[in-house]
Amino acid sequence: MRPAIGVGCPSPRTHLPTLPRATQGGSASAGDGQPPPMAGGRALPSVGRTPISLEDTMTETVTGTVVVGAGQAGLAMSRCLTDRGLPHVVLERAGIADSWRSRRWDSFRLLSPNWQTRLPRWRYAGVDPGGFMTGAEVARYLQDYAGSFDAPVRTGVDVRRLYRVAGGWRLSTSAGRFLARTVVVATGDLARPRIPAVAADLPPGIHQLHTADYRNPDQLPPGAVLVVGAGPSGQQIALELARAGRPVHLAVGRHKSLPRRYRGHDAYCWMERLGMLDRTVDTLPGPPGRTPNAVLAGGTRDLDVPRLVSEGVVAHGRLLGCADGRLRFGDDLAGTVADAAANATRFRRAVDDFVARTSMDVPAEAAPEVVEVEAGEAPALAGIAAVVWATGFGRDHGWIEAPVSGVDGEIVHTRGVTAAAGLYVLGLRWQYRRSSSFLDGVGADAEHLAEMIAERAAERPAVLAA
Ligand SMILES: Cc1cc2nc3c(=O)[nH]c(=O)nc-3n(C[C@H](O)[C@H](O)[C@H](O)COP(=O)(O)OP(=O)(O)OC[C@H]3O[C@@H](n4cnc5c(N)ncnc54)[C@H](O)[C@@H]3O)c2cc1C
């Protein structure tokens, strides 16, 4: 029988009902404002070897594992530890799933379809598996996930320092100190908005903000807007601003185009079918690097620079700076757009090969017309009211006082296991699979780390001491 694919994605893993609320597994729980979840832990008088601060004078919570961060990574970790009866607490400086609530714009929608939002023992069970949740809906989805197993999350707790002590780790936080045998850093791969140095050269009258702080066009002062960066966020925001009647300039850097749908199915459906999302880092010819994300928008329409230009956006090459009262751009626009389009062509070819190989019953689709774009005239600085920096994010691990970073400042690890015994990281891009930093991929890494942590917990208990 020839394989066929139906609505959403052909994966047998799709459309499974949400599991019933799981019974609590061994880990203690506490909601907001509750006493620290002790789960077999005990409060000790603090024994400081570090300079005394107010937090050092507070009591110390001792537990098996501290997970830092309550986004999807921290919650998936908590679910896997709970399943194994491993005592732990999740410390979160803001609220559960805060980044989906406070760092996405009003019209934001997931790039990945709803059916592909699978976490350990939790999956989308709503009415629109082929749709794309808003930021608020993802936040609710994760909040419900935490509630489903009474995740021991303590919100409003900022972890300020993490350092080694005999047998484990101490965390100095805004709510006192924690002592744990094991720590999982789940503070996000996209934690710190990155703004290039050229921002400092712009006149003070130009309103500047990062995509993490962008909400909607009305938030910006009247006038033309320069969006810097043509990844998914930059292109989506440029389109929204143009449709709101704003004159929009887009500084186009390296990016990848991808058709939203091809041969009757969503791009993520094909990526899953082709095994692209499960590809592991050890099968790559070299380090994965920070290659750009493919440009997609939630929905059924394609998004790329030629389409933006057809909507009135003025495209430019990479932003170089400003001189003589004008913005300066590189002359690389045509090449960058052609490279981005080549990614879409490769993708279509890979799908075509797969369809031919498997005799899959899907409609044919003609290759789209190649549209070239010309760079617009560089605008005068006086004509720009606002700049939106769609220039990505970096990690924020400055609070970790352990020799686990490489020369580039990034944490060195193998599948999330660092060289420092008992210190793990979760949710990084290409942590193990291509999907490791996605809603759908972090769960597998959390399961793996939970196994590591269970093994460590089964070893002869170490004496935790300052
Ligand atoms: C614009 C955008 C669109 C995206 N779209 C998709 C998509 O469609 N599909 C998909 O699968 N993925 C998407 N992602 C990627 C990924 O799913 C998100 O980045 C997601 O938020 C990562 O979850 P996380 O738990 O790893 O990190 P985060 O959600 O960033 O959670 C980390 C948490 O740690 C907390 N924290 C940080 N430091 C500390 C500290 N020192 N002490 C205490 N708490 C701390 C933070 O407050 C935060 O709540 C998108 C990302 C962005 C930026």
Ligand 1 atom at shortest distance from the alpha carbon of 173 = 42
Specify the ligand 1 atom closest to the Cα of 104. 1
pLDDT at 47: 31
Model pLDDT, residue 463:
67
**Residue of 93, 105, 145, 160 to test ligand 1 pocket, by largest number of atoms within 8 Å of CB:** 93
Distance from residue 393's CA to the centre of ligand 1 (Å): 11
Residue 271 has pLDDT above 80, yes or no: yes
Name the domain boundary from 389, 408, 434.
Answer: 389
Residue 158 beta carbon below 6 angstroms from any ligand 1 atom? yes
Distances in Å between the Cα of 168 and the Cα atoms of 56, 125, 164, 440, 452 are: 18, 40, 6, 31, 15
Could you give the number of structural domains in the chain? 2
Average pLDDT over residues 456-466: 73
Residue 233 placed within a domain: yes
Pick the last residue of a domain from 340, 370, 389: 389
pLDDT tens-digit map of 424-446? 999 999 999 999 999 999 999 99
**Distance between CA atoms of residues 123 and 227, nearest Å:** 35
- Asked whether the predicted pLDDT for residue 382 surpasses 70, the reply is yes
304 shares a domain with 160: no
Q: Please tell me whether residues 115 and 245 are part of one structural domain.
A: no
When pLDDT is averaged across residues 169-191 and rounded to a whole number, the result is: 97
Residue 442 CA, chain-centre distance (Å), reads 10
Does residue 427 line the site of ligand 1, with CB under 6 A?
Answer: yes
Ligand 1 centroid–CA 188 distance in Å is: 5
Mean pLDDT of all residues in 359-369: 95
Find the range with the poorest average confidence among 48-52, 168-172, 416-420: 48-52
Instruction: Tell me the chain's radius of gyration from C-alpha atoms.
Output: 24
Q: Is residue 241 part of a domain?
A: yes
- Residue 290 pLDDT: 78
186 touches ligand 1 (CB under 6 Å) = yes
Task: Tell me if 94 CB under 6 Å of ligand 1.
Answer: yes
Does the residue 52 lie in any domain? yes
What the block records as the tokens of 209 is: 């903000």
Q: Which atom of ligand 1 is nearest to the CA of 97?
A: 49
**350 CB near ligand 1 (under 6 Å):** no
| Cβ(115) – ligand 1 distance below 6 Å | no
Same domain assignment for residues 237 and 379? yes
Q: Which two tokens stand for residue 263?
A: 């041969």
Going by pLDDT thresholds of 50, 70 and 90, the confidence category of residue 96 is very high
User: What is residue 29's predicted lDDT score, i.e. its pLDDT?
Assistant: 29
Ligand 1 in contact with 354 (CB < 6 A)?
Answer: no
Do 281 and 409 lie in a common domain?
no
Q: Read out DSSP for 261-317? A: EETTEEHHHHHHHTT-TT-BGGGSSS--TTPPPEE--SSS----HHHHHHTTPEEES
Q: How many CB atoms lie within 10 A of CB 40?
A: 13
Answer yes or no: is the C-beta of 73 below 6 A from any ligand 1 atom: yes
Residue 70 near ligand 1, beta carbon < 6 Å: yes
pLDDT tens digits for range 101-153:
999 999 999 999 999 999 999 999 999 999 999 999 999 999 999 999 999 99
Single-letter code of the amino acid located at 442:
V
Alpha carbon nearest to ligand 1 atom 11, residue: 438
Q: What is the best residue among 187, 215, 258 to mutate for testing ligand 1's pocket, by most ligand atoms within 8 Å of CB?
A: 187
Cα of 102 vs centre of ligand 1, distance in Å, is: 11
Domain identity same for 403 and 378: no
User: If you take atom 38 of ligand 1, which residue's CA is the nearest one?
Assistant: 187
Instruction: Please tell me the distance between residue 143's alpha carbon and the centre of ligand 1 in angstroms.
Output: 14
Residue finishing a domain among 341, 366, 389: 389
Q: How large a percentage of the chain has pLDDT more than 90?
A: 82
Q: pLDDT for 399-415, tens place per residue?
A: 999 999 999 999 999 99
**Same domain? 237 vs 332:** yes
User: 66, 92, 233, 400: which to mutate for ligand 1, most atoms within 8 A of CB?
Assistant: 92
CB 384 within 8 A of CB 285: no
Is residue 4 situated within a structural domain? no
Q: Which atom of ligand 1 is nearest to the CA of 399?
A: 41
pLDDT tier for residue 53 given thresholds of 50, 70 and 90: low
CA of 111 to the centre of ligand 1 (A): 14
Which tens digits make up the pLDDT trace of 56-88?
556 788 899 999 999 999 999 999 999 999 999
Q: Are 320 and 178 contained in the same domain?
A: no
| CATH number reported for the structural domain that contains residue 71 in this entry | 3.50.50.60
pTM for this model (two decimals): 0.90
Mean of the per-residue pLDDT values for the chain?
88
Give the pLDDT mean for 317-322: 97
Using one digit for the tens of pLDDT, what is the confidence trace for 334-351? 999 999 999 999 999 999
Same domain for 70 and 147?
A: yes
464 in any annotated domain: no
Ligand 1 atom at minimal distance to the Cα of residue 72: 25
